[in-house]
Structure 1
Amino acid sequence: MTNVIILTGDKQSGKTTFLKNWCATQQNIAGILTPIVGDKRCFYDIEIADFYSMEVAANPPLNEGILIVGKYFFSQQNFAKAATTLMDACADNSLKYLIIDEIGPLELKQHKGFYQALLFVLEHLQKTVQLIIVVRQNCIEDIVQLLNVYNRQNSIFSIEQLQHLLA
């Protein structure tokens, strides 16, 4: 199996739901999913089945604890918590799969969000661990270039293709 699987598809096409359902059938898996719960994007720690908020209230007081992306306001503290989860997983010798949902313009253009965690994972994750990254279609070229810098082989899949691969 390839070292890095890139899962891509249209917004709201079921990528996160597919991964959450698939994760429920697996062992030795860790990572972060970003489902929408009650119209709000959340972080979901796969290993401990824990949800916590990604978004903060609309129009929060401006301070350094808020990450503004377009019309969205995200908690930098919870992004850091999710990033730590990803980095800590690199030390787990029993790990078979690590999932990062998702890498987009925030990471690849602005070097925020999961960017530093992604670099850490690419540097430290054992090559025997299958890394699955959800990537926006408009960022495929950028993520492939980054993976090439770290000598990580990769393959790009739609949900339908990945269902067959992981079956």
Structure 2
Amino acid sequence: MKQTSKHLGFIRHLGDFRFKSWLDKNASEALVEMGVKAGHIVLDFGCGSGTFTIPAARLVGDEGRVYALDINTEALNRLEEKARREGLKNITRIANEGKRTPLKDGSIDLVLLIDVLQEIDDRVFLFEEAYRILKPDGRCSVYPMHILAGEVESLAVSKGLNLEDRKFEGQILIFRKFSNQKL
């Protein structure tokens, strides 16, 4: 019985890796589905070298901005080089090892948490921080590759975010901070 559970878990993760591979290759399409629009202010939390940051910057255009946050300065350096080569000037890098971001309350249209939750020790604070920086009616898109979606949903809802939608057969969770809501 125990081996069967492990085997099923492996098969589930194999599917997760296939979806993640598709997601990485189709980042622009996925970002549009997640709600990225021209003029938006986006935070790509745990951006790495920019798999989603670069396409998001193209989508938000010159009137928008993408904040690229990561603890890995080498990855941020690679991201800056990619952005420079593509002529993208609407990306702001944030090297942050602390919990609180330097972003202002209510300043972000969309927070991206794509395959990063497993790296975060204090997920409670992460969702509190997402709530703090989101504009009223702002969204938080989560791909919890290594964590159960139900666990993520419970945590996000407990911190004031409401599940609005599930995209890509439930793989991506979209939460919204409603404008009349206060914590």
TM-score scaled by length of structure 1: 0.48
Structure number, greater radius of gyration = 2
Higher relative contact order (CA 8 A, sep 6+): 1
Greater percentage in helix = 2
